[in-house]
Amino acid sequence: MTDRQNPSDVGPSLVGWSALVTGGGSGIGLGCARRLAADGASVTLCGRSEVRLKGATEAVAEVAAAGASVHALPTDVTDEAQVRAVVDAAAGVTGRLDAVVISAGGSETIGPLTQTDADAWRRTLELNTTGAMLTIKAAGAVMAAQGGGAIVAVSSIASAVTHRWYGAYGVSKAALDHLCKLAADEMGASGVRVNSVLPGLTRTDLVETITQPGPALDDYLACTPLGRVGEVDDVAALVRFLVGPEATWITGQTIAVDGGHTLRRGPDLSSLLEPVFGEDGLRGVVPD
């Protein structure tokens, strides 16, 4: 274990740390980047959209503490060469790579499995699972060589409780959780910790339709013991803890940050999808 990974030597500040956040242009990724920068880490953001990254860089720079720097690189996380380049860039800021947050993800499928587009299914798995593998592959090699580091992947409660009609999303996130466990087991001997977090319904642009008042939101809240929608800062606080020196004996875990939603069941989105696929479609009947 390196000194940087020893909580008695490091303390709560991340001053002098270098962090990489994939999918850092918006939503949870941006929230995590802001939190890490506020605690003093130099943050490298990556994402597909140059426009979003420009705004994100400015937002992170506003909260950066203790001289922390902010960098942004457009990156397709499914392209191994691009992933290696952004990992090298992040490590080059301070000469090491202390923390990686894997937040790049999404879905191109929604609706009944019997009507799922196979190519959209493959692209979703490629983004959520293969993109994470490539990031862990490149970042893990750097961290193992330097003697330690922490990786946290943003998964979803859809990996833990079935979300009907979510298509490849929950499946790919379940694979992501297992990937993190595998990486933690393999690289623990090199001082590299790997965990995943499972956000519940969190207020971002991506789920704006669901967080609007209506039956879908009502059902989410009925499934959530704490009875509210999550905020990006709720997730960022857990990620910050897991990558930080306070969590040096935590690895290979999947931790829900969901208001207790996973104690119950997945959400009922039939009110949103039945108008599109019909009642019969939602139970698997394919139109003639």
Catalytic residues: 169
182 and 254 Cβ atoms separated by less than 8 Å: no
Q: Judge whether 27 and 205 are in contact, CB under 8 Å.
A: yes
CB distance 100 to 151 below 8 Å? yes
Burial of 141 from C-beta contacts in 10 A (0-12 / 13-18 / 19+) = middle
Query: Encoding tokens for residue 43?
Result: 């943050």
Q: Give me the DSSP letters along 21-68.
A: EETTTSHHHHHHHHHHHHTT-EEEEEES-HHHHHHHHHHHHHH--TT-
Residue with tokens 């929608």: 229
